[in-house]
Structure 1
Amino acid sequence: MKSLKELYRIGPGPSSSHTLGPQRAAKLFQEAYPQAVSYLAELYGSLSFTGKGHLTDAIIIKTFLPKSCEVCFMQETAPEHANTMILKALNETGAVIGEWTVYSVGGGAIKVKGSADLEPEEIYPHHSFAEIMAYCKQRNIRLAQYTDEFEALDDFMNEILDQMLSTVATGCITTGVLPGRLQLERVASGLYSKAKQAADPSRKQKLLIMAYAYGASEQNAGGGTTVTAPTLGASGVLPAVITYYYRDLKIDRKKIIDGLKIAGIIGNLIKTNATISGAQGGCQAEIGAACAMAAALVASLHDMDDDKIEYAAEIGIEHFLGLTCDPVGGYVMIPCIERNSVAALRAIDAAFMAEELGSLKDHRVSFDMVVNTMNYTGRKIAIELKETSLGGLATVVPLADSAPKKHCD
């Protein structure tokens, strides 16, 4: 498996595969062909169908500045990968002097066809939870110590934690309407006000977590800076849970950092053995993965043993199996923002269930089994329901006339 620094990334919303990935690809391509007079970006598949709402064209054009880049939304089926872009470097006559086919594989990661040079190195020798647990038992270490065996992450995780907390805090005091044709009102600040006034502890807890999830997700939807966890579309789940435990329950920062490492292991395994891309696996790959990560973190904060941490992660993702990705208008807003809140609440429930059920029985379904099942299920989900906005809620929720997109011959 690759470094957790490849999983947690700080960057602009609203979509890691549609903004972070293309941004990185454009930057690297520009560095490879600095002599180009201008550039052309052809978007295919999900990048084409939802690229306008996901601000893909905007981030590509901005990255290539001061030189110009024409962005074209192609109508053909994505060649080889659901998130495909073809970047072309042009000379003064418009002739192509360089070309890359790039796949945005989720979480901001990219692959360039025919090039292994951009592939990050493998840091971890293990590729399943069972292998990791066997290693931990052999070394007599806990899951929280596993990452320390292979890479130094404390400084990096502190930066990630600070950004998560900052994103939530900013989102909870920001009001107004999110950009785009949905004209969606921000509600995080209203939820936070309700939470502060709530007398019932249970209601207060739920309102706080909802406010934090909405705050981070609204910041992401508005193009603000947030953290892939494991993606930007699901970037409200883990920060919401972390903010609640850190700010409201006053859990020790070191313990939160250890929890982030454990959550990272869970996300990394899903990314390695299945996918965290909504365009490939549906929203189960994003929200389901985020819920599993957050559930594992919560379990660790409650000092559960590693078996129960695994159980919590398994519950967290199992009950999102089959979840479709059908963003209305191509925006990371409906149903995405609300789903982040649902998953944050469910993560805490998953950890609670793991603790109570785990003391009564062994769990028959392992985390590895569910990841493999999610991968299989994702392949079976129709293309219309995998971040194309061609089916599901995207086709039944009323929306104003579509904004024109640039098509290339």
Structure 2
Amino acid sequence: MKPADLLVRTFLEKHPEESARALDASDAEEAARLIRKLPVSIMGPVVSRLSPSSAGAILSRIGVETARSFLSHMTPQQAAAVYQHLDEAVRNETLEGLGEDKAAQLRQALTYPPDTAGALMDPQVSAIPADLTVQEAIAVLRRQKREAIYYLYVTDRERRLVGILSLRDLVLGGSKEKIESLMNREVVSIGVMTDREEFANLMQERGYVALPVVDVAGRLAGVLKHEQAVDAVQQEAFEDLQKMVGAGGDEHALSSIGTVVKRRLPWLTINLVTAFMAAGVVALFEGVIARVTALAVLLPIVAGQGGNTGAQTLAVVIRGLSLREILPGTIRWLVVKEFMAGMINGLAIAVATAGAVFLWDGRAALAIVIGLAMIVNMASAALSGAAIPVLLRAIGRDPAQSSSIFLTTVTDVVGFGSFLGFALAMERHLN
């Protein structure tokens, strides 16, 4: 083996996290060529740490047999997430060749929608029946040989979750004591269909290391660990950031051209339509713009300040919705607060802008026009930035996905309309 190849192999083996980040940012074809050269035992830990979309794109290029080997080394949840990103032709062949147990686990994981507790949980969970003695429970745990045990979940004979027990209480309990006499019956659990945003917030708020996941019948289905919640929060934040500017939530820096175009073009098209709406407002005042040419110079200032004001409010409100800070009873106060803040900021910016315009142009009327427009636009932008995501959430839409487009439309239409409307009303003082 060449020294360079040995160095690469050693780095991949010793630093799977850093290697996965590098491969995530690489072209899928180049990553596939590298993976083909090395055994699954070396590349398995790296591939399992890739984003599902990157792993799916790479495994689709390395052959069915090799892809199957990598999937068999992943947890059912990891395999399910990656499997959904495999090419259609590879997908069915890969599933058919997996071992019976692994295929069954993968099919079970695929029954849950992406980003739910069922899709992300670890089904390998330490559970002990409530009617065992401490001595019997310890024997069960020894046979299970779990790598890490956060809590012991106690179930009845139908595997329904009935309690929770710490390792400390188990060890300190008498060997003949029943588990049901030691367990805490006040156990917090989540359902398999719980959204990742919801369970991540719950774990962060209460400081849980892990949360049990139960099915619709209350049976213990798996466990969600703290690191999975952290990953979920980070992924949600990254996706929201990309969605706010019209990029796909699953898009990466080196995604294919086709993927980039498919994700972005629809929103760019919608944005084009809204831009024509704003242009239509300007066209209504074509005459006054022709007569007072300084208005054309100042239009971008009005639109820009409104856009920035709305974007500030939008970012805060979307964060509040994601973290469950905004409750039904607080929405009215939120909207009023943002409107008042926009009004006050608008007054301050209006004074500064009017002063600058007066020094530049010398017409007090023009300074008054842009000052009034600035107040109206910034107040309406703040109001819209608060109301739009709340309304979208209320009708079941993702606020991060389309709020910015609606907000841009409002700020441009209101900004141009108010500025040119005030100018038309005061035209005789502008000539």
Question: TM-score per shorter chain, which class?
Answer: under 0.3
Q: Greater helix percent: which structure? A: 2
With structure 1 as the length reference, what TM-score do the two structures score? 0.22
With structure 2 as the length reference, what TM-score do the two structures score? 0.21
Bigger radius of gyration, 1 or 2?
2
Q: Greater strand percent: which structure? A: 1
